[in-house]
Amino acid sequence: MAEVIPPRSGVAFELRRGQRLRVVDPEGEQVADLLAYNREDIGEVISSGRSLDYASSIFLSTGDALYSNRSRVMLRIAEDEVGRHDFLLTPCSAEMFRIIYGETQPHRGCFGNLAEALAPWGVRADDIPTAFNVFMNVRVDGDSGKLRVDPPLSRAGDSTTFVAEMDLVIGLTACSAGQSNNFRYKPIHYEILDGG
C-alpha cells in the first residue's frame, strides 16, 4: 500500500540496507526531491558531484549509483520507468521563488519541507545538499551549458525504484515548484519494499 505525500509537502523516514524505495508519480508530470543520509552518521550525505563524476554523466538511470560525500554507495537505481531525472539543481526554496519567479510571498518549497521533515534526525537546513530530483526534466544545451526546466516525462503511475546499500534516513517531497511539474501541483506516492 503506497504512502501519499500531499502536494507541496515532504516526509522523512528510515530505509534499511536491502530495502527498496519505489517512488511513484500517481498523476504524471510531478517531481520528487530525494535526499539520503547515513542513519548512523548524518554527516554522510548524498553527493551530486561525486555521483555525476563517477558515472561520467549528468543523467542517471537503471544500475547507476547515488554516492555519498564519502564516496560510498548509498542507493542504487534498481528499476526506472521514466529514465530522466535531475541531479544538478538544489531543492526549490523560498529564496529560489523570490529570485527566479519574483514572488513576494514565496512558499518554503522542498527545501523548507525537507528541513522540517528531517529535523527529528538532527539534520539542519545547512546540511541539505543538492537532491536527486526524481522525474525532474532539466534539459541541458551541451555547447552553451544553458539549462531549461521542462515538464517531467513521467506519466500517471510511472515509478523509479531505489535499493538501499546502507541504513539510511530518506527525505522525499512532492515538489512545490511550478516549472518542474508544469504548474500543476500534485502528490507523490512511495512504497518501501523488503528484500528482493
List residues near Zn ion by CB under 5 A: 92, 110, 175-177
Q: How far is the CB of 103 from Zn ion (least distance, A)?
A: 14
Q: Closest Cα to residue 124, out of 134, 112, 136, 133?
A: 112
* 132 vs 163, beta carbon nearer Zn ion: 132
* 39 vs 84, beta carbon nearer Zn ion: 84
Q: Which residues pair with 53 in a beta bridge?
A: none
The CA distance from 47 to 69, in Å, is 5
Q: How far is the CB of 159 from Zn ion (least distance, A)?
A: 19
Centre a 10 Å sphere on the Cβ of residue 134 and count the other Cβ atoms it contains. 31
* Signed CA dihedral, 75, 12, 158, 51: sign only: negative
* 38 vs 91, beta carbon nearer Zn ion: 91
Q: How far is the CB of 165 from Zn ion (least distance, A)?
A: 25
Q: How far is the CB of 153 from Zn ion (least distance, A)?
A: 17
* 24 vs 92, beta carbon nearer Zn ion: 92
Residue 47's H or E segment, with its range, is none
Q: CB–CB of 73/66 below 8 Å? A: yes
